[in-house]
Amino acid sequence: MSQVVFVGLSGGVDSSVAAALLKVQGYHVTAVFMKNWTADVAGNKCPWEEDLASARAVAAHLHIPLKIYDFQKEYRAKVADYMVDAYRRGLTPNPDVMCNQEIKFRTFYDMCRSEGADFVATGHYARMHDGQLLRGVDRNKDQSYFLYRMPHDAAEHALFPVGEYEKSEIRRLAERFDLPTAKRPDSQGLCFVGNVSLKDFLHEFIDYKPGDIVDDQGHKVGQHDGAFFYTIGQRHGLGVGGGKPYFVYDKDMAKNEVYVTTDPDSALLNKDRLMAADEYWWQAVEADKVYDVQVRYRSTPVEGRIMRHSDKFEVVFSQTERAIAPGQSVVIYDGDVVIGGGIIQ
């Protein structure tokens, strides 16, 4: 008897190919559409109905059943509210990391397993070998950064079929399988709202007021329209014209001020270390070992050593790293192997 796999089918090409590959590999496949968010935001219609129609078309084409799980309550509490609260406090959170930890590989995973799934699969670009999380083959699309906090018990029963392929191969496979999503564009914008800007989304939930943009000499050089929206390293969207470009290096939520510099090499913007808490590990770190360290999605990893403290850890870089943003995740790698990480302080 073939093993049962429940695959999260979002309506996009990646999860569609994941489902097709699993069926070809001989699994008994059931597709599940997660209804995480249906509300319209800032005049933008949430595309959930279009996504569901796409998922239904793929399931019908593959002759597999489709279930619908409604996780809107859980998603709002554990992902959306978490993100809004973090921005309100001046941080730069990563909702995709929290979604994978709390929804896809906890709430969704638990539901799938309770309904008879031997394995739970998604369309993530990552790999899982013997319960260990690895980078996806396509380094440009690799999503292991977002998955570093997935619960270990879920990892034992997780499958990432597209993680073994380059993105270009996934598109070709979609055409070979004649999937309805073969030419559907990749989703843009926020992971759960659709094509709406982060700024417009946050303005729906956070009270904001204009404040001063101050340079590293203490001079007021402009006005911002809400300090919560600006992130460390930001260059565009400051509304400060003339001369050299400005980079955000800090902000003070109590004073409602954003701090900038025109020096891209300034020590205010480039740090040789960081502190992280709320840590999560796949393997124990070695104090003298040099690891690959990634401080944001798709950033180029830099070398660093890890120093453990009682309830947090420090990363000391071999060279300075630009624009380290509190609230983002720092993920530690040994080659393609995910060692662990934490939330930047």
99 is catalytic: yes
How far is Cα 101 from Cα 33, in angstroms, rounded to an integer?
Answer: 18
Report whether 148 contacts 140 (CB < 8 A).
Answer: no
Question: Which of 53, 111, 182, 191 is labelled catalytic?
Answer: 191
Question: Measuring CA to CA, how many Å separate 250 from each of 84, 120, 326?
Answer: 19, 41, 10
Question: Measuring CA to CA, how many Å separate 97 from each of 66, 78, 323?
Answer: 26, 11, 19
Question: Which of 41, 52, 99, 260 is labelled catalytic?
Answer: 99
Known catalytic residues? 99, 191
